[in-house]
Structure 1
């Protein structure tokens, strides 16, 4: 028996245009009834199988990173970026706009890195036994996300479950809380001598104004610079510790 790979035009055309084209038509239940009634049952089952496979393939996800044994998918990155924008809106996007990041787009590798860092920070927080976030805080954050994404086509296309939204939201809150804890512990004190040394080394930047006019600003600048360097070094250590890999960047 020879099966024609191209379904007849009788309401069972899945792709418009050229084979493999992007347009897709909905298949009505009535079409299946008519097809089953007038066709060989085996042919019906084969076509039904490929129909379901084609519809399931609309949501594509791929492995984009790994932290120890935890695998990060592109879909997880998409969900996480939306949650992050809702909880802490970026000034780079218009108000009430969701970040529609996709594999292959510029900046997607950076989004993957962000999720990987969140995951590794949470693992480190668990080691310090400070990974707890009040349930009320999680509930409020989840409610905020659900309200912001309601009716959004991009979000519906990702098909996030309630469990995923809660898990990724919790991860963001834990990571933020632990980063605050680490930041406070890493913040150092810049002495007047250190500030004076910087002033003398960069005298041309300050003109003829005396050191006292810039002392506080110099100390704040050096403290921030020192903190950023310590955090950067810490990130490098925990990334090696938990064997973080960004497959998009490789």
Structure 2
């Protein structure tokens, strides 16, 4: 079983829902809507739906896909009429989606192994002519200042993350502990780490014709030390 199929329970999801300020979601949606794509959007994986719901509020037709039953239930409660689907993004090609814009936000890219990531990108290229990947684990972002441990509290949940980097496999291993005072969840997250150049070549190989690399939603160029990579690929 792949780690993410059981990772996103109510404890983990409550933390992530509380950790992101609405202004960040608004800025990210400003960025993707400024790309000039059409009105149909696929958000995969969509998590608890923060991007999907904001896009619908702005007039877009959105389908949100996520494997977490808890996240989809939460999203459906907030926006019952939106096209929520529970399922695994690793088998995206089996759903028959068609869109003008595909999103892979929230640092979800890198969950799959290399073969799975290549298949996922090819599926996305078949679904939509424009793709945005939000990738916080690009090597140029991650490795210059990788902290050994992170402690945060959000959404009524305390989180401790202990990081280790496997140089042989190019994987970031994160040992998470979530607790709300009564319950504790401990899970290991695995992120496959690519350079921006490697991701660009993967996107071109998947069928996209061009790739732009940004360091944030303000449109700044991606460089070593940027805290995230926003890759925009067009067929």
TM bracket, shorter-chain basis: under 0.3
Of Structure 1 and Structure 2, the greater helix share is in: 1
Of Structure 1 and Structure 2, the greater strand share is in: 2
Greater relative contact order, per chain length (Cα 8 Å cut-off, separation 6+): 1
- TM-score relative to the length of structure 2: 0.25
- TM-score relative to the length of structure 1: 0.24
The structure with more radius of gyration: 1
